A = this chain, B = another copy of it.
Amino acid sequence: MTTTELLVRRERLLGAGTPLFYQEPINIVRGEGVWLFDADGRRYVDMYNNVPCVGHCHPHVVEAMHRQAGTLNVHSRYLHEGILDYAERLTNLHADALTSAVFTCTGTEANEVAMSMARIATGGRGFICTDAAYHGNSAEVSKLTRAKDTDTEIRAIPYPQRYRPLQDGASESELVELYLAEVRAAIDGFEANGIPLAGMLVCPILANEGLPDIPAGFMPRAAEMVRDAGGLFIADEVQAGFCRTGRWWGYEVTGFVPDIVTMGKPMGNGMPLAGVVGGTELVDAFRQRKRYFNTFASSPLQAAVGMAVLDVIETENLRQNAADVGNYLRGELAKLQVRCEPMGDIRGHGLFIGLEWVSDRAAKIPDRDGAVVFVNRLKDKGFLIGNAGALGNVLKIRPPLVFQKEHANLFLTAFEEIVGEFYGKGS
């Protein structure tokens, strides 16, 4: 079936407007490690997908899934040791205060649980988020999507950053105070409207916002301010978690301990698996109020697959790999920056890199169209990345954690070639 035939069929069966990547979409039929293969046998270095974090079709994960699916897979209202072993291992990877877990199937569901948990614990309703956030697609959680303060219970602050700061010329410590004042204003706004605060929910590295350099010290100070006002601080680790940043959790990168953490995407390497960890008292109170039950979650299958993912991260030392290869790639991209005018800023942590694409580096004019063209050209050359960020102009590089220096070098060669094609004068 040709791409055109597939597109027509897809529009009919899944609806026109179903999201699709690339101007000429690709028909992927096989994956292995960092590689994806299309129906014509063309291979691509996958530098986008964080979900298959230990690599596409990792045999250890595939076998764990196969073994458990052939042994038992039922809901969680019977006892099962597997899910307890997984909960124990997972909470042990977190800060000491995070001792109990609630499992779900998707990150959206995890954020639903976290919001409910915070509301139950605090008796509050109001949530603070950033103005370029995405935390999920349910009616409740999507109120946080690029929130415009249209819901009385949601207030968005400008996301903290150093590239296009709230005030030009402000020092990093001044920026911390400026962004904290925004948090303060949100808290005061809720209070003025008689809406008690439930908490603040953010990605600890602001991934959807475009991986900004967050003024150092903002996160722990914001957490303190939210707690002082009676709220809880929730870290959405759906993108940042599981060693993506070279640390186990994004909150280690920005230096704070959340009250509640939500996780998802890479957790099951593609098996629907997500969840929440928090202090046992928080989880108890949530359980007792909600009697939360999720048919497919906390299953033996989720547990076996989740466990296998942790096995691979540890045995293949993928945390260190993410740190090392990420640093290498960022360093090499920095060398190319001088010949690549649109690369206005290079940011990120570990194997999560954002390149701010601009049409004028001094004026920092965002160039979403240019970013899209570059992403499509890279795809043609066999490298899959995406564009994202608050303004859609950030090249998003986020390969499986098994991405190696040799793959980085292939990418850098292609990147340099495209820079030469597009911005040839300088090369």
Contact = CB atoms under 8 A, between A and B. Distances in A.
A99 B12 contact: yes
Most chain B CB within 10 A, of A20, A26, A30, A72, is at A72
Given A21-B78, A28-B78, A57-B71, 17 more contacts: A12-B99, A16-B284, A19-B76, A28-B80, A30-B71, A30-B72, A61-B69, A62-B70, A66-B69, A105-B106, A105-B272, A105-B296, A109-B137, A138-B140, A140-B140, A271-B301, A272-B272
A312 to B, nearest CB: 14
A18 B287 contact: yes
Interface in A290-310: 290-299, 301
B62 A301 contact: no
B102 A73 contact: no
A282 B39 CA distance: 31
A138 B115 contact: no
Contacts of A88: 9, 13
17 contacts: A6-B81, A10-B79, A10-B84, A14-B298, A19-B293, A27-B78, A27-B81, A28-B80, A51-B296, A57-B70, A57-B73, A105-B105, A107-B295, A112-B137, A115-B139, A137-B290, A270-B301
A116 interface: yes
A15 B84 contact: no
Interface in A271-285: 271-272, 280, 283-284
A13 B65 contact: no
A164 interface: no
